[in-house]
Amino acid sequence: MKQIKIQPENEPRTLLQLLQAQGVFLSAACGGRGTCGKCKVRFAEGAPEPSGPDLARLSADEIRSGWRLACRTYITKPCVIELDPQAEEAIAVGTAFRKTAETAGSGTVPETAVPVLAVDIGTTTLAAALIYPGAQPPYPVATSVNHQRSFGSDVISRIDASNKGNREALQTLILQDLEALGAQLGIPEQDIFDPEKIRLIISGNSTMQHLLQGLSCESLGVAPYTPVDISLHPWRNMTLLPGISTFVGADIVSGVIACDMDRKDDICLLIDLGTNGEMVLGNRSRMLCASTAAGPAFEGGNISCGTAGIPGAICAAEIGAADPIRTIGDLPPVGICGSGVLEVTYELLRCGLIDETGLLDDDYFDEGYPLGEGLFFTAKDVREVQLAKSAIASGIQVLLHEYGIGSDDVSRVYLAGGFGEKVNIRKAVGIGLLPEDLADRTRPVGNSSLAGAVLFSEQPDLAARFAQAASGIREVSLTETPLFSELYMDNMFFPEQ
């Protein structure tokens, strides 16, 4: 385990904050409230007494062995700590986008003086494709963790952290992550922000773009939620792609372009199954969009043993099979990622171990259903899934209602995002995440945000098309729609099996 020396400071600061000051950024999905249990550290000696929340998130054995939650621990003397082996996760490289005949773009990069790095800045992960002049796809792709997760797993936590004095720290983190991402692709760190060496095309949600540029997030967190600048514009050696609103950003506009929705006559539905749960419905004549706070459950966040899509993460399950769980890389299980969360939920429902209300069987209610040594899927985890799937399902139904059509009128459903690429559609329908009658028209498209950035890199003349899509899509505010609240309560229930 990696050991780190820590010195106390005059003003009281949590161990998580002291580590952040030293450039060590642990995962803290809850934003440091002591509820997610992700920022575990072990004191080599002289562990402080655990505070209340530690007792709820750590086992008695862990406490006795010196483990503590960094966000709830204060030190009064110099100490040496050891990090949880999973504290520094590495994201497995996935498909950037499934390039099809429907995808716009020639696949030929214009002859320019410098290469282009197309980047998707996600709340949880970053992805980039390196495109050299005259190159042909597929392009080399790299992915990594967004280390801003140390300030919370969702955009609301990041906005709050920025507004409480951490704006510069959050910007520094994402700039460092971009340097590291470029290094994976062979770009020297000193070159990544040099306009004579490389040009960057940045897609991502509106909060991530604000944090990258060091813009104030004050107006993002309070009504009427007005962004500082989400237009198509340059910054440093970067081009920031345009967004629609504070909660529907450039990542969704990129997805619309990548899926050709703005040029189709058929009505299509794009769903990004990330932390924020954005969706767009429509065609070239008219498009509506919405964003719902789905939470990070389908990215492994707020789940007791949740993790990103790293080697050893449980990614599939079938209770009763010879091998009831499958992990990434077929390694011993270290946690459960988003696709595994969905599959375990479905399997528990199929086997009658949770009922339609989400109540976990008495045999597993206290500790949870065992998934491996020290790994359990708990009653709280089931509730996180219910909240996430209800938000997505209700948002889809509201958009259909606002558009004035039924699901039969939708010709194609695109599932975007890392989770969307790996999701088992049959099981997603089985827990009520997706409408059953759209199952045969649903297909995953991977990281459509990165795909849009790649297309822009290939064809800079797409600028007008991106800007037109961003300005022409009308946002439906789900929080101001009474129908959403009604549907949300109904969709909390699981379908009967």
* Percent of the chain at pLDDT exceeding 70: 91
CA atoms within 13 Å, Cβ hemisphere of 271: 31
Sign of CA dihedral 410, 391, 95, 330: negative
Cβ atoms within 10 Å, residue 115:
18
Per-residue pLDDT, 96: 44
Nearest-angstrom CA–CA distance, 277 and 284: 22
The whole-number average pLDDT for the span 173-195 is 94
> Is 347 a residue whose pLDDT tops 80?
yes
Per-residue pLDDT, 493: 95
> Is 246 a residue whose pLDDT tops 80?
yes
The reported pTM is 0.84
| Alpha-carbon distance values, 180 to 91, 93, 128, 220 (Å) | 13, 14, 11, 28
> Is 202 a residue whose pLDDT tops 90?
yes
> pLDDT of 104-131, one tens digit each?
344 555 555 689 999 999 988 899 999 9
Cβ atoms within 10 Å, residue 85:
11
Sign of CA dihedral 277, 283, 284, 286: negative
Local confidence band at 99 (pLDDT 50, 70, 90 cut-offs) = very low
Look up the CATH architecture of domain 116-261: 2-Layer Sandwich (3.30)
Local confidence band at 48 (pLDDT 50, 70, 90 cut-offs) = confident
**To the nearest whole number, what is the mean pLDDT of the chain?**
87
323: amino acid identity, one letter: D
| Residue ranges per structural domain of the chain | 3-83, 116-261
50-59, 72-81, 116-125, 140-149: range with lowest mean pLDDT: 50-59
Q: What is the CATH number of domain 3-83?
A: 3.10.20.30
Per-residue pLDDT, 112: 56
> pLDDT of 207-236, one tens digit each?
999 999 999 999 998 888 999 999 999 999
The whole-number average pLDDT for the span 353-361 is 95
> pLDDT of 267-323, one tens digit each?
999 999 877 789 999 999 999 999 987 766 777 777 888 887 778 889 999 999 988
> Is 59 a residue whose pLDDT tops 60?
yes
| Alpha-carbon distance values, 384 to 36, 41, 89, 341, 495 (Å) | 12, 25, 22, 10, 16
> pLDDT of 480-491, one tens digit each?
999 999 999 999
One fold for 3-83 and 116-261: no
Strands 313-317 vs 278-282: parallel, antiparallel or unpaired: unpaired
Closest CA to 396 of 349, 427, 429: 429
Helix H, strand E, coil C: the string for the chain is CCEEEECCCCCCCCHHHHHHHCCCCCCCCCCCCCCCCCCEEEECCCCCCCCHHHHHHCCHHHHHCCEEEHHHCCCCCCEEEEECCCCCCCCCCCCCCCCCCCCCCCCCCCCCCCCEEEEEECCCEEEEEEECCCCCCCCCEEEEECHHHHHCCCHHHHHHHHHHHHHHHHHHHHHHHHHHHHHHCCCCHHHCCCCCCCEEEEEECHHHHHHHHCCCCHHHCCCCCCCCCCCCEEECCEEECCCCCCCCCHHHHHHHHHCCHHHCCCCEEEEECCCCCEEEEECCCCEEEEECCCCCHHHCCCCCCECCCCCCEEEEECCCCCCCEEEHHHCCCCEECHHHHHHHHHHHHHCCCECCCCCECHHHHCCCEEEECCEEECHHHHHHHHHHHHHHHHHHHHHHHHHCCCHHHCCEEEEEHHHHHHCCHHHHHHCCCCCHHHHHHEEEEECHHHHHHHHHHHCHHHHHHHHHHHHHCEECCHHHCHHHHHHHHHHCCCCCC
Nearest-angstrom CA–CA distance, 223 and 234: 27
Strands 238-240 vs 369-372: parallel, antiparallel or unpaired: unpaired
Characterise 466 by phi-psi region: left (phi > 0), alpha (psi -120 to 50), beta (else).
alpha
Token readout for 80 is 């040496």
Q: Which residue has the higher pLDDT, 231 or 153?
A: 231
> Is 179 a residue whose pLDDT tops 90?
yes
Helix H, strand E, coil C: the string for 192-203 is CCCCCCCEEEEE
Nearest-angstrom CA–CA distance, 317 and 424: 11
> Is 170 a residue whose pLDDT tops 90?
yes
> pLDDT of 407-460, one tens digit each?
999 999 999 987 767 789 999 999 999 999 999 999 999 899 999 999 999 988
> Is 191 a residue whose pLDDT tops 70?
yes
Per-residue pLDDT, 82: 83
91-100, 130-139, 328-337, 415-424: range with lowest mean pLDDT: 91-100
Closest CA to 341 of 287, 297, 400, 405: 297
Q: In what order do the strands lie in the sheet with 79-83?
A: 3-6, 79-83, 40-43, 67-69
Rg for the chain, CA atoms, rounded: 22
